[in-house]
């Protein structure tokens, strides 16, 4: 009897090893296909970079994507959240539905980088003529996901489940007066039919060396709120301030008060908080005290409860500082992105997949960041993981890398192969897990 039990164990172990061998052989064949598609990925990225489009206006980009996905034999849906494109690749065997997301939009920035495919595009944004530039790496995101779609289209017969390729517009925000971005994609059902079981995304970074992947479990990127404060005072001549109520001076007090919320009222050992006033507008002439002054800014929080508390404290602070001077203050707050939360269990499962794509020494933990991502909305419907991908040329100094959203922002193509391999690797492994 004991001998039979040992034989059964040996058989099970042999079957497991055989299955693992087949899985690794498939991974290596997929990685070989990745190498073959890299020149096309580079060309797509450079073409998209040279022809950038702002949020909800990614008409050329979405047509390029849709045509590519259709050429691969996928089920394609267009016009989601204005210009979004979704491709569905169905494997031959049953399994989970895994969503992969790339954002498509550029920014109203005039490019200053001296590269052959630099953007010369211009358009009108909020009534102003502006340059348009992929100053945040979304061109690379699109190219990587297009390449991943092409790779997997060659392996449909060996896939257990389906892959939903989500190409999202307006991550940087829609034009004034419009909805857009991930929240609208989710509202319009992108996570359904078929229902998504898990979602993954990458953001390429200008100050992380190409070939590296950075991660953090739990809260990773901040919630982003935009706030506006209208202070109403009483106009007067600039030489007689005692006859009026100066809304500019009251606004200055409110700005100081908002920073006290961060430094004296927020438990910063729990999570960071940032409150920034980025715009203030009041008055038309040096010697006239205006009736009103308006401020606008952003709030960044990494804890949902702290986010609510900060909102209430901003309203309380503005109201009572204004009242102390006889003025009034009206505060409005609009949430642009939730906390980007990496499901700890899912992240733990995918780390070996990422290490096989990048190398164990190139997959590194990091602290949270106060930048925001509307990828967070996908996490309200299914477990999600969002990762940073290196796009800085090897050997460069990260402290000298031009920041995102600036005219000098630069990444090269050398980071994309790691991203494509990582997308492929985690899909292959998660198709074994639902």
Same domain, 215 and 179: yes
Number of residues that make up the chain: 434
- Under a CB-based contact definition with an 8 Å cutoff, are residues 261 and 317 in contact? yes
Same domain, 54 and 155: yes
What CATH number is given to the structural domain containing 303? Answer: 3.30.70.360
Question: Which structural domain, as residue segments, surrounds residue 291?
Answer: 234-326
| 3-state SS assignment for residue 262 | helix
Q: In whole angstroms, what is the distance from residue 88 CA to residue 325 CA?
A: 60
The whole-number average pLDDT for the span 404-432 is: 97
| 3-state SS assignment for residue 395 | coil
- Residue 9 burial by Cβ neighbours in a 10 Å radius (0-12, 13-18, 19+): exposed
Q: In whole angstroms, what is the distance from residue 378 CA to residue 343 CA?
A: 12
Structure tokens at 308: 């609510």
Closest CA to 132 of 147, 124, 121: 121
When mean pLDDT is compared across 56-60, 175-179, 353-357, the lowest value belongs to 175-179
Read off the pLDDT band of 235 (50, 70, 90): very high
Same domain, 39 and 125: yes
The whole-number average pLDDT for the span 249-261 is: 98
Q: In whole angstroms, what is the distance from residue 403 CA to residue 300 CA?
A: 18
- Total count of domains within the chain: 2
The whole-number average pLDDT for the span 392-399 is: 97
* Domain end among 263, 297, 326: 326
Q: In whole angstroms, what is the distance from residue 82 CA to residue 78 CA?
A: 8
Same domain, 141 and 30: yes
* Domain end among 279, 306, 326: 326
Q: Omega before 194 cis (within 30°)?
A: yes
The whole-number average pLDDT for the span 342-358 is: 98
Same domain, 399 and 322: no
* pLDDT 10s digits, 292-348: 999 999 999 999 999 999 999 999 999 999 999 999 999 999 999 999 999 999 999
Read off the pLDDT band of 432 (50, 70, 90): confident
* Domain end among 326, 357, 376: 326
Look at residue 12 and tell me whether its pLDDT is greater than 70: no
Per-residue confidence (pLDDT) for residue 10, from 0 to 100 = 47
The verdict on residue 172 lying in a domain is yes
What CATH number is given to the structural domain containing 111? Answer: 3.40.630.10
φ, ψ for residue 70 (rounded to 5)?
-65, -35
Q: In whole angstroms, what is the distance from residue 394 CA to residue 161 CA?
A: 36
Same domain, 353 and 425: yes
- Under a CB-based contact definition with an 8 Å cutoff, are residues 169 and 82 in contact? yes
Same domain, 159 and 248: no
Same domain, 150 and 187: yes
Same domain, 92 and 173: yes
| 3-state SS assignment for residue 273 | strand
Read off the pLDDT band of 23 (50, 70, 90): confident
| 3-state SS assignment for residue 10 | helix
The verdict on residue 150 lying in a domain is yes
Same domain, 79 and 171: yes
- Under a CB-based contact definition with an 8 Å cutoff, are residues 191 and 344 in contact? no
- Under a CB-based contact definition with an 8 Å cutoff, are residues 274 and 297 in contact? no
The verdict on residue 135 lying in a domain is yes
Per-residue confidence (pLDDT) for residue 130, from 0 to 100 = 96
Give percent above pLDDT 70 in the chain: 95
Same domain, 345 and 314: no
Read off the pLDDT band of 38 (50, 70, 90): very high
Same domain, 208 and 83: yes
The verdict on residue 254 lying in a domain is yes
Report which secondary-structure segment, H or E, holds 32.
helix 2-50
How would you classify the pairing of strands 384-392 and 198-209? parallel
The rounded mean pLDDT for the chain is 95
């Amino acid at each position: 009897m004991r001998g039979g039990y040992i034989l059964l164990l040996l058989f099970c172990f042999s079957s497991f090893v055989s299955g693992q061998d087949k899985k690794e052989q498939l991974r290596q064949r997929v990685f070989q296909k990745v190498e073959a598609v890299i020149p096309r990925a580079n060309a797509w990225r450079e073409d998209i970079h040279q022809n950038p489009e702002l949020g909800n206006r990614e008409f050329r980009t979405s047509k390029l994507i849709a045509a590519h996905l259709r050429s691969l034999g996928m089920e394609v849906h267009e016009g989601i959240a204005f210009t979004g494109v979704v491709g569905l690749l169905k494997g031959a065997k049953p399994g989970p539905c895994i969503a992969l997301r790339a954002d498509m939009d550029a920014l109203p920035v005039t490019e200053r980088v001296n590269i052959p495919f630099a953007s010369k595009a211009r358009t009108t944004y909020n009534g102003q003529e502006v340059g348009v530039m992929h100053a945040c790496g979304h061109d690379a995101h699109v190219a990587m996901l297009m390449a991943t779609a092409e790779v997997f289209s060659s392996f449909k017969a060996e896939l257990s489940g389906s892959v939903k390729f989500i190409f999202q517009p307006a991550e940087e925000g829609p034009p004034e007066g419009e909805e857009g971005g991930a929240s609208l994609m989710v509202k319009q059902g992108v996570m359904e039919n078929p229902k998504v079981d898990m979602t993954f995304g990458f953001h390429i970074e200008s100050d992380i060396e190409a070939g590296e992947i950075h991660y953090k479990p739990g809260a990773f990127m901040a919630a982003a709120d935009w706030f506006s404060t209208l202070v109403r005072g009483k106009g007067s001549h600039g030489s007689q301030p005692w006859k009026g109520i100066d809304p500019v001076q009251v606004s200055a007090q409110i700005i100081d008060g908002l920073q006290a919320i961060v430094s004296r009222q927020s438990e910063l050992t729990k999570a960071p908080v940032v409150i920034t006033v980025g715009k203030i507008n009041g008055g038309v002439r040096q010697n006239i005290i205006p009736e009103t002054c308006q401020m606008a800014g952003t709030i960044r929080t990494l804890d949902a409860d702290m986010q609510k508390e900060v909102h209430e404290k901003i309203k309380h602070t503005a109201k009572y500082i204004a009242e102390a001077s006889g003025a009034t203050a009206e505060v409005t707050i609009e949430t642009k992105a939730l906390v980007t939360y990496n499901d700890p269990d899912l992240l733990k499962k995918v780390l070996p997949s990422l290490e096989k794509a990048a190398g164990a020494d190139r997959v590194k933990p990091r602290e949270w960041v106060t930048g925001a991502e509307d990828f967070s909305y996908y996490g309200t419907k299914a477990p999600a993981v969002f990762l940073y991908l290196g796009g800085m040329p090897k050997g460069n100094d990260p402290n000298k890398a031009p920041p995102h959203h600036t005219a000098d922002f630069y990444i090269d193509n050398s980071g994309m192969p790691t991203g494509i391999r990582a997308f492929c690797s985690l899909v292959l492994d998660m198709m074994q897990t639902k």
